[in-house]
Chains A and B, each alone.
Chain A
Amino acid sequence: MNITLKNIHKSFGRVHANNNINVTLTEGQIVGVLGENGAGKSTLMKILSGFQPADSGEIWIDDQFVSYDGPEAAIGRGIGMLQQDPLDVGAFTVLENFVYGRSGGILPRWSQAEQELNRYVRDFGFELDPTLWIEQLSIAQRQQLEIVRLFALGVKVLILDEPTTGISADQKAILFDALRRLAHDDKLIVLLVSHKLEDVIDLCDSVIVLRAGERVGDMMMPDSATITPEQISATKTHLVELMFGQEMALHERSLATLGETVMSLDDLHMRSKRLDISGVRLSIRAGEIIGLAGLDGSGQELFMRAACGLAPVHSGHIRLGERDLTGKPYRHFMQTGVIFGAAGRLEEGLIAGLTLTEHLALVESTAGAIHWPRMVDETNARIAHYNVRGQANSRIEQLSGGNQQRMLMALLPENPRVLILEQPTRGLDVDSSRWIWQQLLERRQRGAAILFSSPELDELVAYSDRILVFYAGRIYEIPDVAGITIDRLGHLIGGEFNG
């Protein structure tokens, strides 16, 4: 099946999110969709997958004009999409979710469906227990389930919007193998929206590049089997030029002078259903950046949340300067300048349905009455300073993923004592990530300590003064980041602490 998009237009108010886009997709290909934050990638993908209608333009499947309305209908036409932010689907098991959306019979044939599910899971090299609840799954497993579900429904086009945010390197490898199989053996079209150029070069056969709603270029990717490191970096440079219209400088490691201890964890013991982390001693000094490495679910989430009162601490103490905040709720931490930023964005951190101004008013206003005009001015100032693409009265969910992240950054206080950030650059393009780090480094210059987690090893190595590697609740400290290679870090993450 081949697909042609003709003259696609979509506007949101003044924003021309898709401006006359023409694309032809050929079966058996993995096509990367690149572009800076807000370029219109998700919009185009949502149009193709029926999540939102285009203002004008046509979709042709195999030389036939089609029109459909809604994601279900799109799946009926063979086009399925994985969302950028997977939402909770509530109380369903894996198997129920797999069966969901199928035609034929009111009563699903459970045992048959289960066999089918297990077969796909095995074929793709996934790991999914049919009896688990959806909410027990990691992001990667939810993706796997969705891929299997859509494939079983017979889709011929699979769209993935930033699938590699929030999943580990191993999970990514599994995902990519599955996608290769789907495209090259099963002749699907796979569309991949991603900001990670290495991934795109590794996986895709070709890419198209969007900038400010327009298609500005496309490129064939070199064969990943025979590619040389030089080719990779040349391709990267080329892609960056296409995306931003300019070349970018890389970050230089900067060392800040460390101040006194701002936060200390004393023999901390925390527990969750799956993990038990004990004996954590850590003192964090002003101006220090500590990177937290580890696969999804290795304990870094629990650690970060426990350290700021969002998860219970079983024993031990958390001290901020003189104050003992053990067992206090997050609000107390927040008032002492310990700020947590979750990776979840719309699930945790931002509030869908509230405007940008309302978000700011929530964190900024101290008096009882809100002076809205002043808040709007202040919001506009932040929008300008943080370069958010959106308006003061836009609701947060109207912003593109990357711009939501920028807004989250804009909501952080100017002079925090400790920032605890889960994947601060999740879903950001190269330019925006750099920019976010610039903001963070400025705060560090003013004395903030930063703890951050990231699935990107190079990000960890580039910015951390110290790295803590989490593996199954154990913690290994790398005191001297300058002396570590990414390769070694990769092994540590896999649990090889004594290598």
Chain B
Amino acid sequence: MCKQSPIWQIVFGVLPVFLAVLIAAMLVIAVDRDPVEVVTNIWEGAFRNTKSFAGVLNFWIPLTLVCVGLTVTFRSGLWNIGIEGQILIGAMFASWGALYIQLPEALAPLQIAIEIALGILGGMLWAGIAGALKVWLGVHEIFGGMALNSIASVWGIYLISGPWYPEGGSAQQSAPFSKVALLPGISDDWPVSLLALVLTVMALIIVPLILNRTRWGLQLKATGKNQRSALLLGVPINTVAMSSFLVCGGLAGIAGAYRTLFTYGSFRPLASGGIGFLGLLVVLLASTRTLWIPVITFLFAAILSGSTRLRVAMQLDASLAQVLQSTLVLLFLLVGGLRQRFEARSATPVEPEAAQPPVQTRAGGEVIAP
């Protein structure tokens, strides 16, 4: 409908951030702390030095991988709630490789390649099950995903309390992996894996290209928007749904592998750390603006990583960051909704090329188009 003036674009972009900061500030004041100090601490926690910046990247890498994967399932209209489980199974498979395949140090790159491949395999397997349940048995992917998430988590707990129980350790994590099995960091000042960084950037570039430039990408989009029509236009909708699950699962698997092989260096049943759910939120926020994903994930990663400092510096629980994050998400969605209303109201003529249909509400109150 109306092409928005830049001013409004900015207003709608900045407003939620502003409001979220305001609300968070009020919360902080309510617990008798100085909001400015909190912000400074988060900032310092994130960007104080190269190490802390690497810490941000350590969150950014798996989160971004997961989000890229989720754009694929979202494109085909699927809610891949099972992403958490896929991350975990990916982590588990990679850990198996790290614990049981012991190549000599000279073959470390091969060892790591095998572990990552195993991670991908695990993620794909778990996503494939969700897909198969959906496609052949008609189980909605949300329910299937939930069930698979809890199975994965139970399985993880079983492993560290049974077969992978470390000698003399606690039932929190497996025995630490050997050095050969670990992803190496760039340097002591930059404790972040170059390989993972490269993989993530590649995923960020390649996946959107595939989605926008290939027949498969178009088929995903068609299936996501209208299955029945897609079928009539010759789209193999089942294959398409399955493949989008598999791709997403594969990326989630890499994320899981990264978490165990780099972040923790051992297997933990909580390896995903909620990154899957956070990823769902990010993708929801970004909706069609996929280019924003790395930016949003960076923002979240910075807040997450930076806020770990709060406890040390201010005796505040780091969960404050989560509060800030959730408020941010909520407000973005809220303002997004307001914006749609606003757009529907101020109907001004369009300039030629920018023709977009209005948001139409039909008899049932269903919103069609954008």
Residues of A within 8 A of B (CB): 11-14, 51-53, 55, 69-71, 82-83, 86-90, 146, 310, 330-331, 334, 340-342, 344, 346-354, 358-359, 361-363, 365-370, 372, 394-395, 397-398, 411
Selected contact of B347 from candidates A13, A14, A55, A330, CB within 8 Å: A55
Closest Cβ of chain B to A487, distance in Å, is: 36
In the bound complex, residues from chain B placing their C-beta under 8 Å from that of A341 are: 232
A89 and B225 in contact, given A358-B218, A368-B216, A370-B215 (Cβ under 8 angstroms):
no
CA distance A281 to B366 in the complex (A): 43
The 8 A CB mask of B205-249 against A (1 = contact, 0 = none) is 000000001111011011001101111111110000000000000
CA distance A398 to B366 in the complex (A): 17
Total count of chain B residues near the partner, CB < 8 A: 39
Closest to A142 in B: B363
Instruction: Determine whether the beta carbon of A87 is less than 8 Å from that of B226.
Output: no
Instruction: Determine whether the beta carbon of A71 is less than 8 Å from that of B361.
Output: yes
Interface class of chain A by DSSP: loop
CA distance A194 to B233 in the complex (A): 29
Instruction: Determine whether the beta carbon of B231 is less than 8 Å from that of A89.
Output: no
Instruction: Determine whether the beta carbon of A11 is less than 8 Å from that of B349.
Output: yes
Closest Cβ of chain B to A7, distance in Å, is: 15
Closest Cβ of chain B to A494, distance in Å, is: 31
Closest to B355 in A: A13
In the bound complex, residues from chain A placing their C-beta under 8 Å from that of B368 are: 87, 352, 397
In the bound complex, residues from chain B placing their C-beta under 8 Å from that of A353 are: 225-226, 369
Known: A89-B366, A362-B215, A369-B213. 6 other contacts (CB 8 A): A52-B360, A86-B363, A352-B225, A352-B369, A358-B221, A367-B215
**Does B289 sit within 8 A of A, measured CB to CB?**
no
Closest to B223 in A: A351
A14 and B229 in contact, given A372-B213, A395-B357 (Cβ under 8 angstroms):
no
Closest to A11 in B: B349
In the bound complex, residues from chain B placing their C-beta under 8 Å from that of A347 are: 226, 228-229
Instruction: Determine whether the beta carbon of B234 is less than 8 Å from that of A363.
Output: yes
**Does B104 sit within 8 A of A, measured CB to CB?**
no
Instruction: Determine whether the beta carbon of B364 is less than 8 Å from that of A90.
Output: yes
B window 238-287: CB within 8 A of A: none
CA distance A11 to B357 in the complex (A): 11
**Does B339 sit within 8 A of A, measured CB to CB?**
no
Closest Cβ of chain A to B135, distance in Å, is: 13
In the bound complex, residues from chain A placing their C-beta under 8 Å from that of B226 are: 347, 350-353
**Does B166 sit within 8 A of A, measured CB to CB?**
no
Instruction: Determine whether the beta carbon of A398 is less than 8 Å from that of B357.
Output: yes
CA distance A442 to B234 in the complex (A): 23
In the bound complex, residues from chain B placing their C-beta under 8 Å from that of A365 are: 215, 218
In the bound complex, residues from chain B placing their C-beta under 8 Å from that of A350 are: 226, 229
CA distance A87 to B361 in the complex (A): 11
Name the residue in B230, B348, B360, B364 with the highest tally of chain A Cβ atoms < 10 Å from its Cβ. Answer: B364
In the bound complex, residues from chain A placing their C-beta under 8 Å from that of B225 are: 351-354
Closest Cβ of chain A to B341, distance in Å, is: 10
**Does B350 sit within 8 A of A, measured CB to CB?**
yes
In the bound complex, residues from chain A placing their C-beta under 8 Å from that of B349 are: 11, 55
Instruction: Determine whether the beta carbon of B229 is less than 8 Å from that of A349.
Output: yes
CA distance A310 to B229 in the complex (A): 12
Selected contact of B234 from candidates A11, A14, A69, A331, CB within 8 Å: A331
Selected contact of A88 from candidates B354, B361, B364, CB within 8 Å: B364
Name the residue in B216, B348, B363 with the highest tally of chain A Cβ atoms < 10 Å from its Cβ. Answer: B363
Instruction: Determine whether the beta carbon of A13 is less than 8 Å from that of B236.
Output: no
A362 and B369 in contact, given A12-B350, A55-B349, A398-B355 (Cβ under 8 angstroms):
no
Instruction: Determine whether the beta carbon of B352 is less than 8 Å from that of A370.
Output: no
Closest Cβ of chain B to A183, distance in Å, is: 22
Instruction: Determine whether the beta carbon of B233 is less than 8 Å from that of A52.
Output: no
Residues of B within 8 A of A (CB): 213-216, 218-219, 221-222, 225-226, 228-236, 345, 347-355, 357-358, 360-364, 366, 368-369
Closest to A395 in B: B357
Name the residue in B225, B226, B369 with the highest tally of chain A Cβ atoms < 10 Å from its Cβ. Answer: B226
Instruction: Determine whether the beta carbon of B213 is less than 8 Å from that of A348.
Output: no
In the bound complex, residues from chain A placing their C-beta under 8 Å from that of B231 are: 310, 330-331
Instruction: Determine whether the beta carbon of B361 is less than 8 Å from that of A362.
Output: no
Instruction: Determine whether the beta carbon of A51 is less than 8 Å from that of B360.
Output: yes
14 sampled A-B residue pairs with Cβ under 8 A = A12-B355, A14-B355, A52-B360, A71-B363, A83-B362, A90-B364, A334-B234, A347-B228, A351-B225, A351-B229, A352-B226, A354-B222, A366-B215, A397-B368
CA distance A205 to B161 in the complex (A): 83
A362 and B219 in contact, given A83-B362, A397-B369 (Cβ under 8 angstroms):
yes
In the bound complex, residues from chain A placing their C-beta under 8 Å from that of B360 are: 51-52
CA distance A53 to B360 in the complex (A): 11
In the bound complex, residues from chain A placing their C-beta under 8 Å from that of B236 are: 331
Instruction: Determine whether the beta carbon of A87 is less than 8 Å from that of B222.
Output: no
CA distance A341 to B345 in the complex (A): 37
Closest Cβ of chain A to B211, distance in Å, is: 11
Instruction: Determine whether the beta carbon of B362 is less than 8 Å from that of A87.
Output: yes
CA distance A359 to B229 in the complex (A): 10
Instruction: Determine whether the beta carbon of A359 is less than 8 Å from that of B364.
Output: no
A70 and B234 in contact, given A352-B368, A354-B222, A362-B222 (Cβ under 8 angstroms):
no
CA distance A365 to B222 in the complex (A): 14
In the bound complex, residues from chain A placing their C-beta under 8 Å from that of B364 are: 87-90
In the bound complex, residues from chain B placing their C-beta under 8 Å from that of A358 are: 218, 221-222
Instruction: Determine whether the beta carbon of B229 is less than 8 Å from that of A348.
Output: yes
Instruction: Determine whether the beta carbon of A362 is less than 8 Å from that of B366.
Output: no
Instruction: Determine whether the beta carbon of B232 is less than 8 Å from that of A340.
Output: yes
Closest Cβ of chain A to B138, distance in Å, is: 15
Closest to A149 in B: B363
Closest Cβ of chain B to A43, distance in Å, is: 11
CA distance A365 to B233 in the complex (A): 12
Closest Cβ of chain A to B353, distance in Å, is: 7
In the bound complex, residues from chain A placing their C-beta under 8 Å from that of B347 are: 52-53, 55
Selected contact of B215 from candidates A70, A82, A88, A369, CB within 8 Å: A369
Closest Cβ of chain A to B356, distance in Å, is: 8
CA distance A348 to B232 in the complex (A): 7
Selected contact of A370 from candidates B218, B222, B366, CB within 8 Å: B218
CA distance A402 to B247 in the complex (A): 39
Instruction: Determine whether the beta carbon of A349 is less than 8 Å from that of B235.
Output: no
